[in-house]
Amino acid sequence: MSFGLAGFLMAIIIVENRVEFVAIGYWLTAGTILVLLCAPIVLVVREELNLWDVKKRNLSHPVEIKVAEIERPLQCSSAVVPINNQKECVSFFQDVFKPPERGEDYTILQAVLSVDMLILFIATIFGAGGLLTAMDNLGQIGKALGYPKTSITTFVSLVSIWGYLGRVGSGFASEIFLEKYKFPRPLMLTIVLFFSCLVHVLIALGMPNTLYVASVLIGLCFGALWPLIFAIISEIFGLKHYSTLLNFGGAASPIGAYIFNVKVAGNLYDREAMKQMAAHGIIRKRGEDLTCTGVECYKLAFLIIAASTFVGFIVSLVLVIRTFKFYKGDIYKKFREQAKAVDAAESHYRTNGDAPL
């Protein structure tokens, strides 16, 4: 359903820029989009009905719940000294630099201070930061290179749809390749970063019509990046503190965007615009926006971004090497074992009528 919506929007944007719509055309388009937006509700309603049936069956067969006491580790403080015949407590900072095996549940500090997270964070800064800079400046790049206004509107609109397709496609593709061929997910991330380098080089060259291709690759690469990063975080560091680690990994994007968008692309664009104004003998008025035309406006900036993304590509390769053995193993084994334990417990409940937790 989501693919259908994305494909329909892409087709409508292209057609709208080539054919003049009448009022009935806009009404039909809006109606179709509303139907496609509401279509997933069918899935939600069906699932809720299934859950309601399960709930009614459980209510008709009540079970006795027995709660077992769970042993928890002792919390240490500087004032507490373990005594004989008492389990030794573990300090909060004691195992920060002694993380468990990959795939097990890391603590927040163990994950944040690990080499794997540092590598992933750097790769995300270079990869996501460069792509976000390209997306933010796509309209201005098209204007500087002399593209028609309708063309600029088209590829700026379509980049979001391509981003969605990249997000969904990389999620499905990486899962299929991992399950069938043990293809490491960090290697998929590395491939995305390599294509990101090509995107930035295309923009820097500024050849005729290359911005159409670049806009497609920008959307696909930026969309593909995030499912891979978040999946890698969950697989390497476990799910116990996933929400915190997910947000920590996502923080790399605005950092990269600030570096490349503001400090690199923004400053170099303004410098080239001032140079062009000086060459034409124009004095900039206070508060007046700077306008730059030609390939030189973004050429140096995107060459720097391409080189930085290539560094991210190399850094990502290091993560591939470090986690290669882990991904060649059975990374979902513990989840299958947990599922089997749950099934066995449910079978026990149905047979014996009690439910120890």
Record the tokens describing residue 310, joined without a space: 């290539």
Mean pLDDT of all residues belonging to the chain: 84
Looking at the structure, tell me whether residues 14 and 130 fall in a common domain: no
Condensed to tens digits (0 to 9), the pLDDT of residues 240-254 reads 999 999 999 999 999
pLDDT at 223 exceeding the cut of 90: yes
Distance CA(172)–CA(180), nearest Å, equals: 12
Cα distances from 46 to residues 3, 50, 51, 157, 325, in angstroms, run 20, 6, 9, 34, 41
Whether 182 is covered by a domain: the verdict is: yes
**CB 1 within 8 Å of CB 44:** no
Dump strand ranges (E) for the chain. Answer: 64-66, 354-356
Paired tokens of 219: 């959307």
Sign for the CA dihedral angle at 304, 310, 312, 315 comes to: negative
Average pLDDT over residues 331-339: 75
3 state SS of 105: coil
Provide the residue range defining the domain that includes 195: 108-339
Residue 186 lies in a domain: yes
**How does pLDDT run across 9-59, given as a tens digit for each residue?**
778 877 877 788 888 888 998 998 898 888 888 888 999 999 898 888 777
Considering the domain architecture, whether residues 44 and 112 belong to the same structural domain is answered as: no
Does residue 78 have a pLDDT over 50?
no
CB pairs under 8 A, 24+ apart, for 16-25? 17/150, 17/151, 17/153, 17/154
DSSP 355: E
Query: Is residue 292 scored above 70 in pLDDT?
Result: yes
Alpha-carbon distances of 174 from 182, 183, 187, 228, 232, rounded to whole Å: 10, 8, 10, 8, 11
The verdict on 157 and 301 lying in the same domain is: yes
Residues 300, 195 within the same domain: yes
**Is residue 25 domain-shared with residue 132, that is, in the same domain?**
no
Q: Are residues 143 and 282 in the same domain?
A: yes
Q: What is the CATH number of the domain that holds 300?
A: 1.20.1250.20
pLDDT at 313 over 80: yes
Clarify whether residues 44 and 131 are in a common domain. Answer: no
Q: How many domains does the chain have?
A: 2
Burial class (CB in 10 A: 0-12, 13-18, 19+), 295: middle
Distance CA 172, CA 175 (A): 5
Together in a domain, 31 and 174: no
Q: Are 95 and 110 in contact, with CB atoms under 8 Å apart?
A: yes
Report yes or no on 60 lying in a domain.
Answer: no
Give the other-Cβ count within 10 Å of 151's Cβ. 15
